[in-house]
């Protein structure tokens, strides 16, 4: 499989870009890989890059976007931060990726058993981690069940996973609210902004 070029990128719709990611995850789940020569892709992309997707994911070592979507060099912009939330710098990076570099889809990718989400659920405090986890607290508060405080901790994995999903939804809301550039591109049909959850037990990505 060759690296994307300006010509191949130009032919992609947001739907087709999303389909590439879905197909790649199916290959990953089945322990298959597209036939690609990475060193050849180094050469192919040396003069420029033409990715088709931007993926915001957690720093979790089990959730490498290039691997779980079976993509090669020059295929995706990968933005990683614990808890996969956005700030001004990440929004600016996404605007560059879509408006200037031509990616067709933004995926906010959460995952099950997220350590950052667990920390937010447990009100963990440690140096700069304390302020970072505050960014995830709205998702904790946004999940109304269970009401029993003793069940709203990292020990309740179902609660943790619901918070992780809510965090993806709220992150997408923030992208829409805080980036007129990306919101206008989506309204014009130039890009899609979608949420997804990666299951660390199965390797499957569910889009929603």
CA 194 to CA 110: how far, in whole Å? 11
CA 116 to CA 113: how far, in whole Å? 9
For residue 146, is the peptide bond before it cis, meaning its omega torsion is within 30 degrees of 0?
A: yes
**Any binding-site annotation on 70?**
no
CA 161 to CA 72: how far, in whole Å? 29
**Any binding-site annotation on 58?**
yes
**Any binding-site annotation on 114?**
yes
Residue 129, both tokens:
């981690």
User: What angle do helix axes 88-95 and 180-187 make, rounded to 10 degrees?
Assistant: 40
User: What angle do helix axes 88-95 and 157-178 make, rounded to 10 degrees?
Assistant: 60
DSSP state of 149: G
**Any binding-site annotation on 4?**
no
Residues that constitute the known binding site: 58, 60, 111, 114
Annotated binding site for Zn(2+): 58, 60, 111, 114
């Amino acid at each position: 499989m060759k690296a994307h070029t300006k010509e191949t990128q130009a032919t992609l719709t947001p739907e087709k870009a999303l389909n590439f990611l879905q197909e790649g995850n199916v290959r990953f789940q089945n322990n298959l890989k597209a036939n690609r020569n990475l060193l050849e892709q180094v050469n192919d992309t040396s003069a420029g890059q033409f990715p088709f997707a931007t993926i915001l994911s957690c720093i979790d070592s089990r959730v490498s976007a290039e691997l779980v979507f079976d993509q090669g060099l020059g295929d995706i912009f990968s933005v990683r931060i614990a808890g996969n939330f956005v700030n001004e710098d990440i929004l600016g990076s996404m605007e560059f990726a879509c408006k200037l570099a031509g990616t067709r889809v933004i995926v906010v990718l959460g995952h099950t058993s997220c350590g950052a989400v667990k920390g937010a659920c447990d009100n963990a405090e440690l140096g700069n981690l304390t302020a970072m986890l505050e960014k995830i607290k709205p998702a904790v508060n946004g999940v109304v069940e269970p009401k029993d405080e003793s069940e709203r901790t990292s020990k309740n994995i179902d609660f943790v996973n619901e918070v992780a999903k809510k965090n993806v939804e709220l992150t997408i809301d923030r992208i829409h609210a805080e980036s007129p550039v990306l919101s206008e591109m989506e309204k014009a049909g130039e890009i899609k902004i979608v949420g997804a959850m990666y299951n660390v037990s199965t390797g499957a990505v569910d889009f929603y």
